[in-house]
Amino acid sequence: MSSPRKLVTDLCQILLVLVPMAIIVFTAAGCSEKSEQAKNAEANTADVARKELDTESKGPPNIIVILADDLGYGDISVTGGRVKTPNIERLAAEGMRLTDFHTSGVVCSPTRAGLLTGRYQQRAGIPGVIVADPSGLTHENGLQDREITVAELLQKEAYDTAIFGKWHLGYDPLYSPLNNGFDKYAGFVAGNIDYFSHIDQSGKHDWWRDRELNVEQGYATSLINDYAVKYIEQSRSTPFFLYVSHAAPHYPYQGPDDSAERQAGAQFEVYSADGDVQATYREMVLEIDRGIGDIMRALERTGQDKNTLILFFSDNGANEYGSNAPYRGYKTTVWEGGHRVPFIARWPSKIPADTVRSQLSSSLDVMPTIMDIVGIPIVDAPALDGSSIAPLLYGERGNSNRQLYWNGVAMRDGDWKLVIADGKPKLFDLSSDPGELNDLSTSNPQMVTEMLAAIRAWQADISTDMTQQPVPLPQ
């Protein structure tokens, strides 16, 4: 009888022959046609790798600011509005909505100045629209060197920075976005352009790539969306700040399937509103919504989703073709409908999903909030009027006991709103009267007196800290 040790030795020798033969047989069978299970395994492995990259993203976050133009509070479905916007709905479901968010201006240029600097636009010398007409009073004005933008501060901290879309802070090349903190630029400097020919309302071609005029075919909103997606998909080793500044739904009212209305040197109607404006308006809003979906999917594809903060809002309320329901007034007015706008913040790893907050906040808060989130102190810059709402976005309780001002003729003090209309102060308690229908000034004279004094103090403060423009304007 063989010994136990010899039996083990013989068994090992047999296995050394059989195991390689089995491996060869199974390998040959697999080479003839990869099984569906193996293919799925590889796909799952790639998906897991992407998710791990996404989840483990560390370091300073990417920041994307998406700004609509003249989009009203009642225009989109997420605020109960008339246009079904599924991607904006998704943005809100995965983030936080602020229902008492306001722009610092009630028209284009002022809000943009306040947004980028965190200071009332009056301090920057931009209380009104910078016009395209070379003979216009404000045409020579723009964002001066004294003003420090959020893009400049981020650029100094090794952020890649880009703006695609509407600038509207100066026509002179001196005021180019590239001189105000942005590394890349594609878009237009005017307040509006033809969506196809890219002609501004003074009749000039206005589509730029960095510092050069560029003839580029395409519907403006789609071009802006595409530039944003391509920028996100670029390989980089540093975080980025992306400002997606839409033209829509500002006039001229043109949908993606329409055609050019303006040609250089030709006569055209600036405020064209032919045909079914409501249907066209809807198409313009839907193209913004489509782009937001594309941006979110690009972030997911590139593994940057969990480490990217998206802020979405409008530059002021809608005009009469849009809806600011349930609020009173339109763009250019200081009623709530002129400056209370939809706001959504989404950052999957930080901001609680599907949340709504009602704390009073402003577009002036965007700049200090971004700097707070990325952990960069604001130094060597003029004093700010906005304040960080990062704690609110993280889910903490916000502070509504603050004051906001509009053009020296309106202010908020918590839920109280004072509007000087027809030379007379009118007082409203927005907690019970959000539509500003019931004037309480006669029954609350002390509150009226205090708020009028606060407006005068604000005006005096502004007058001592105004950036000089080539053409000074009354504030």
Is 91's pLDDT higher than 70? yes
The pair of structure tokens assigned to 64 is 């994307």
Q: Which residue has the higher pLDDT, 100 or 472?
A: 100
pLDDT band at 57 (very low <50, low <70, confident <90, very high): low
Distance from C-alpha of 8 to C-alpha of 14, rounded to nearest angstrom: 10
* CA–CA separation, 207 and 215 (whole Å): 7
- With CA atoms as reference, report the closest residue to 253 among 216, 220, 224: 220
Q: What is the mean pLDDT of the chain?
A: 89
Domain of 68, CATH number, reads 3.40.720.10
293-304 average pLDDT score: 98
Q: Is the pLDDT of residue 457 over 90?
A: yes
Range name among 75-79, 224-228, 274-278, 443-447 with the lowest pLDDT average: 274-278
Question: Catalytic positions, please?
Answer: 108, 168
The 10 Å Cβ neighbour count of residue 156 is 12
* DSSP alpha helix (H) spans, 366-412: 366-374, 390-393
Q: Does the residue 42 lie in any domain?
A: no
Percent of the chain with pLDDT over 70: 87
**pLDDT at residue 381, as a whole number:** 79
Answer yes or no: is pLDDT of 67 > 70. Answer: yes
- Count of domains for the chain: 1
pLDDT at site 267: 84
Interval 190-214: pLDDT, tens: 999 999 999 999 999 999 999 999 9
Give the SS3 label for residue 130: coil
Task: Look at residue 382 in the predicted model and tell me its pLDDT.
Answer: 84
Q: Which of 96-110, 387-401, 407-421 has the lowest mean pLDDT?
A: 387-401
pLDDT at 268: 86
**pLDDT on residue 59:** 86
Q: Is 87 helix (H, G, I), strand (E, B) or coil?
A: helix
Q: For residue 96, give the nearest of 358, 380, 386 by alpha carbon.
A: 358
| pLDDT recorded at residue 380 | 78
Q: Is residue 408 part of a domain?
A: no
For residue 114, being part of any structural domain is answered with yes
Asked whether residue 440 is domain-assigned, the answer is: no
End-to-end CA distance of the chain: 112
pLDDT recorded at residue 474: 61
What does each C-alpha distance from 138 to 63, 114, 206, 438 come to in angstroms?
Answer: 31, 17, 18, 37
The encoded tokens of residue 27 equal: 């390998």
Tokens found for residue 371: 């700097």
186 is written with which tokens? 């594609």
pLDDT at position 354 over 50: yes
Burial class (CB in 10 A: 0-12, 13-18, 19+), 237: exposed
* 446 in any annotated domain: no
| Inside any domain, residue 20 | no
Q: Give percent above pLDDT 90 in the chain.
A: 80
pLDDT digits (tens, 9 = 90+) for 150-202: 999 999 999 999 999 999 999 999 999 999 999 999 999 999 999 999 999 99
435 domain-assigned: no
Mean pLDDT for 368-388 is 92
Two tokens, residue 199: 């002609």
Residues 6+ apart with CB under 8 A from 354: 92, 93, 94, 95
| 345, 93 Cβ separation under 8 angstroms | no
Amino acid at 391: P
**Domain encompassing residue 79:** 61-402
Looking at residue 54, what is its pLDDT? 42
Predicted confidence at residue 274, as pLDDT, reads 74
What's the pLDDT score for residue 9? 41
Phi, psi of 102 (to 5 degrees): -130, 150
Q: Which H helix or E strand runs over 54?
A: helix 36-55
Q: Is residue 339 part of a domain?
A: yes
Q: How many Cβ atoms from other residues are within 10 Å of residue 220's Cβ? A: 27
Query: Which residue type sits at 460?
Result: A
Dist. CA 242–CA 93, nearest whole Å: 22
pLDDT score for 1? 42
